[in-house]
Amino acid sequence: MLKSKLFLEDIVETLNNKDKLHSKKLRSNVLFLTEKFPIEFDELLTLIHNYFTNIQMSTDQIVIDYLKMINDMRIEGLYFIKNGKYRCDSQEEANKEVYSDHLVMSYYMNALLVSQILWKHHFQIFMYFKKNLQSFSLNKAGMKILDIGPGHGFFSHIVKNEFPDYQKIDIVDISETSLNMTKSIIGNDNGKINYFKKDIFDYNDNEKYDLIVLGEVIEHLDNPKQILKKLRSLLSENGLLWITAPTNAPALDHVYLFRTKEEIFDLIKDSDLNINKYCSFFAEDVPEELALKFKITNLVGMFCNK
């Protein structure tokens, strides 16, 4: 635990030497999260530290990768402000410019991994998921879980800890880089976690799941309703679908623009799904009125069912 904390201090200090203004915000975020969620923060921090230790990546390189992503976001953000839309026009373009480019995917995924403990809205969405998951009447013994586009697998990590008697977790992604990273971070839990490099639209329709996780995926798609319809067909009769998506979040591979959380809600309802509970966290600590006025990213999470 001490090594993980020293690792985090080293990351923040190195960031401070390279980007003082950004580092000031991150220090504030880390202080808030460590005070409010001390146990959970240490848990995710340890997973992240172990991953970078295992691949022998230096703090300097981690910070270089992270600041590359921040620079990308600043460029995409300026385009968004000027044009009122994302620069990336399609899934095909995102695949060409990001997913099929190993060098881009490598620094991008490393940077996103670090952001899970440096950005308040990322961490808070995990905590909302964990806090509310047990409130639903799920098939806790023998539960089947599907995680699409897992990012780094933290939602699945929470599920396996909350429901240790689960039957299996199937993790599906078109990116081998993402799958390999997720497997390195959360493992296979004695064969109960399975990994599939596959398009979800080619997935077996006969399989039914008690819980499906779709974390920050729909903003990467040309037609997000299509995947929601597909996942509805994979839900068991009383199954639960957890979806997260951001508004106003320009990035290298973001295609579908949601301007408000209501636009996300409308999409969910148009896909014949009901929203049971939801949360939303702005990326900046400003009043909601200002956040909406200046189009600050809002990360929205929803528990849904048929």
Structure confidence by residue, pLDDT tens digits, 84-132: 999 999 999 999 999 888 899 999 999 999 999 999 999 999 999 999 9
Task: Give the CA angle between residues 65, 71, 72 to the nearest 5°.
Answer: 90
To the nearest 10°, report the CA torsion of 282, 287, 290, 294.
-20
**Rounded CA gap, 286 and 289, in Å?**
8
Phi-psi sector, 187: left (phi>0), alpha (psi -120 to 50), beta:
left
Residue 282 pairs with which residues in a beta bridge?
298
| pLDDT value for 1 | 62
Q: At what angle do helices 38-54 and 176-186 cross, to 10 degrees?
A: 120
List the chain pLDDT tens, one digit each, 306 residues.
Answer: 689 999 999 999 999 999 998 999 999 999 999 999 999 999 999 999 999 999 999 999 999 999 999 999 999 999 999 999 999 999 999 999 998 888 999 999 999 999 999 999 999 999 999 999 988 877 778 899 999 999 899 999 999 999 999 999 999 998 888 899 999 999 999 999 999 999 898 887 788 999 999 999 999 999 999 999 999 999 998 999 999 999 999 999 999 999 999 999 999 999 999 999 999 999 999 999 999 999 999 999 999 999
Q: CA dist 161 to 44, 167, 171, 296, Å?
A: 13, 13, 16, 33
Closest CA to 53 of 12, 16, 4, 15: 4
Closest CA to 195 of 168, 214, 223: 168
Task: Give the CA angle between residues 225, 229, 233 to the nearest 5°.
Answer: 165
**Rounded CA gap, 191 and 85, in Å?**
43
Closest CA to 148 of 213, 207, 227: 213
Phi-psi sector, 299: left (phi>0), alpha (psi -120 to 50), beta:
beta
User: All domains of the chain, ordered by start, with CATH?
Assistant: 2-119 (no CATH), 121-305 (3.40.50.150)
Contact 34, 118 (CB under 8 A): no
| Helix ranges (DSSP H) in 19-144 | 20-36, 38-54, 59-83, 91-94, 102-118, 120-133
| N-term to C-term CA, the chain | 42
Q: Which pair of tokens denotes residue 61?
A: 């390189």
Structure confidence by residue, pLDDT tens digits, 244-256: 999 999 999 999 9
**Rounded CA gap, 19 and 229, in Å?**
43
Task: Give the CA angle between residues 232, 234, 235 to the nearest 5°.
Answer: 70
Helix, strand and coil content of the chain, in percent to the nearest 5, comes to 55, 15, 25
